[in-house]
Chains A and B, each alone.
Chain A
Amino acid sequence: MNRIGIATVVAGLLGSLLLLFLAAPIVQLVGSSGADGLQRLGSDLALRDALLLTAATATAATLLGVLGGTPIAYLLARREFPGRAVISALLDLPLLIPHPVAGMALLLLLGRDSAVGSAALDLGLRIVGTPLGIVAAMLFVSAPLFVSGAREAFARVDARYEGVARTLGDPPWRAFRRVTLPLAGRGLVASAVVMWARAVSEFGAVVILTYNPKTVSVLSYDRFTGFGLSEALPVAAALVLLALVPLVLLRALRAGEPRT
C-alpha cells in the first residue's frame, strides 16, 4: 500500500472513532429510554411542564436574540467602524467562559441586590428564580451563536446586490428588506435554530439563576441526584428528542440554501 493509501485509511479510522464516540452515547440514551421518555409525557406532569417551560423560554430568548442580534450582525458584516474588533471579541466571550461562571456573572448583574435587579423589582419584575432568569441565562449563552451565524449569512450576500437595489430606487431599509433579508434568510433562520437548540440544552447558567421552575436540563439533573440514573434517563432522552427537532430543521434548510 502506498503512502497516500495508508494516510487515507488512518484518517478514515480516526474519523470513524470520533464519530462513534460522539454518536454512541446519544444513540444508546435515546434507544434505551426514548420510548419511556415519550410515554412519560402523558403521566409525568413535572416532565411535561419542564418541556413546555424549556421550549417557551428558549423561544423567548431566541426572539430577543434575533431582534437584537440581527442589526449587530449586519453592521459587523457590512461596515468598518472603530471598535468593531472589540465588539466581535465581546460577542465571543460568553462562548469561552464556563457556563456556571456566566450564571454567577448574571446573578451579580441581575440579583436582587444589584442595581438592575432592584430596579426591576421596583417595576414588579423578579428575574432570579423566575422564567425571566431562565430567559436571561439562555440569551447570554446562546445569542453569540446567532450573531456569529447571522454575520456569516450577511457576509455571504454580496453588498453589490444592495447597491443595485439602491440604484433601482430602493432606500437602504427597503433594499435590506427586499434583497438582503431574503438572500440571507435561510442563514438567519439556521442561526436562530442553532441558538434555540443551544438555549434548550443550557444547564450551567440556568441552574444558578433559576433552579425552580425547572427546565428539562435542570429536571434531569435533579432526578439524577435525587433518584439515580434510571429516573434521569427518560427525562434526558426527552431533552435529546426536543433538541433533535431543530437539528432536522437546520439540515433541511441548509440543503435548499441558494447560492449568491
Chain B
Amino acid sequence: MITLESARASKGRFTLDGISLHLASGQYGVVIGPAGSGKTTLLELIAGLVPLRGGRLLLEGVEAQHRPVEARQVGLVYQHAYLFPHLSVRENIAYAGAAADLQQELIARFALSPLLGRAVESLSGGERQLVALVRTLARRPRMLLLDEPFSALDPGRRTRVRREVRALHREWGLSTLQVTHDFTEAGLLGDVAMLLDAGRLLQSGPPTELFRRPANAFVAEFLGAENVFAGTAKALGDGTFEFVTGGLTLHAVGEFANGPAHAVLRAEEITLARDQGHDSARNRFSGRIVDIEPHGAVARVTVDVRGVAIVAALTARSAQDLALAPGLAVVLSFKAMAVHLC
C-alpha cells in the first residue's frame, strides 16, 4: 500500500507539489504525463531516493519518510536499467542475495537463461530492462515501482513480459506503480491511473474514467481526445446542457456550472452517414469532409461543420462502403451523453 498526502519534493529546480494518491495493497497503478512532468521523481520519492520536503508518505500504512531506502521493501526499475557494468548478468541478478531457487524461477519466467553468460555491455536496451526487472524482483519487494520498464522491448516480447509482470503482481500481492507513455498499456495494466503535469497530479482514477471523463482540456488532449472545444455551457434545466462553440451548438448531459467550459468528444463516439436519418442522437450536423487519414483498420475523417473541424473515427471498411472522399457532404451524429463537459 502506498499513500501520499500533500507530498512535496524537489530535485534540482524541479518540484513535485501537493501530490495526494493512494494505491491499495495489490493494486496496479499507472502514472502518465508528459516528459518532465515528474513521473520518475514521484517514484524516487516513494523509494526514498528523493527526500520528502512536506506532507506525508505512508508505506503499508506506516509513516515512511524517515525510513532508509534499503528498509522500505520497495523495488525500483528505471527505464535505463542501471545494470552494474562491473558485474556480469548473473551477478547483477544475484546482487541482492536472493535465494537461488527464486533467481532460477525468475530467470525461467522471463526467459533470461541465454543472457546469463553475457557481459552487461553487450546487452540490447530491451535485454537490459529485462535483467533489471528480474534483479529487482529477485529481492521480493512488497512494492514495485517501474519507470517505463518495457519501453525498449520489441512488441511481441513486451506483451509477454507485461503479462508475466501482471501475473507476478497478482501472485505475490505486490502494490505496483508503473510509469508509462503508452495509453494502451495504461488501460491494460492499471487499476488506477494518475496523470501528472509540471509536478502536480491533475487527475487520478480508473483508466477508463480518465479517458472518458478527463478533468480538463489538458488531460483530454494529453490522453488523445481528438475533439476538444472551448466554448460556453448553459444548463437547460432538465439535466442537459447547450454548449456553444463557434457556430455550433452541442447538446451534453451531466452536472456542470453555467459559463466557460470545454467539451470533449471522442472520435469513436461519432457516427457518419451520407444522408439525414432518424435516430435518438441529440447532436446531428451536416458538414463536408476535409481529410481522411487511414490508420490500419481505422480511418480518421475530419469534417468541417460550420467552420468547426470535427474528427470522427470509423473502420476503413465503413469508409470504403460509404465511398467517403474529401469534399463529400456527410452527416455526423452523436449522443448528448458522448459529450463530456469539463
Residues on the A chain within 8 Å of B72, using CB: 167
Within 8 A of A (CB), among B58-112: 68-70, 72, 74-76, 78, 80, 82, 84-86, 95-97
In the assembly, what is the distance between CA of A167 and CA of B97, in Å? 13
When A161-B82, A179-B84, A258-B85 are in contact, do A167 and B76 touch as well, CB less than 8 Å? yes
Encoded as 1 (CB less than 8 Å from any B CB) or 0, chain A from 151 to 184 comes to 0000000101101111111110000000100110
Nearest A residue (CB) for B76? A167
User: B68 touches which one: A163, A171, A179 (CB < 8 A)?
Assistant: A171
When A182-B86, A259-B85 are in contact, do A165 and B95 touch as well, CB less than 8 Å? yes
Asked if residues B139 and A168 are in contact (CB atoms below 8 Å), the reply is yes
Within 8 A of A (CB), among B25-76: 44, 47-49, 68-70, 72, 74-76
Asked if residues B85 and A260 are in contact (CB atoms below 8 Å), the reply is yes
When A165-B95, A168-B96 are in contact, do A160 and B70 touch as well, CB less than 8 Å? no
Nearest A residue (CB) for B120? A258
In the assembly, what is the distance between CA of A164 and CA of B47, in Å? 10
Asked if residues A169 and B97 are in contact (CB atoms below 8 Å), the reply is yes
B136 within 8 A of A: yes
Asked if residues B69 and A166 are in contact (CB atoms below 8 Å), the reply is yes
When A179-B84, A259-B85 are in contact, do A164 and B97 touch as well, CB less than 8 Å? no
Asked if residues A167 and B84 are in contact (CB atoms below 8 Å), the reply is no
25 contacts between A and B (CB under 8 A): A160-B49, A160-B80, A161-B84, A163-B44, A163-B47, A163-B76, A164-B78, A164-B132, A165-B95, A166-B68, A166-B70, A167-B49, A167-B69, A167-B75, A167-B136, A167-B141, A168-B95, A168-B135, A168-B139, A169-B96, A171-B68, A183-B84, A183-B86, A258-B121, A259-B121
Residues of B within 8 A of A (CB): 44, 47-49, 68-70, 72, 74-76, 78, 80, 82, 84-86, 95-97, 121, 132, 135-136, 139, 141
- A166-B70, A167-B47, A168-B139 given; 5 more Cβ-contact pairs under 8 Å: A158-B82, A160-B78, A160-B80, A163-B44, A168-B135
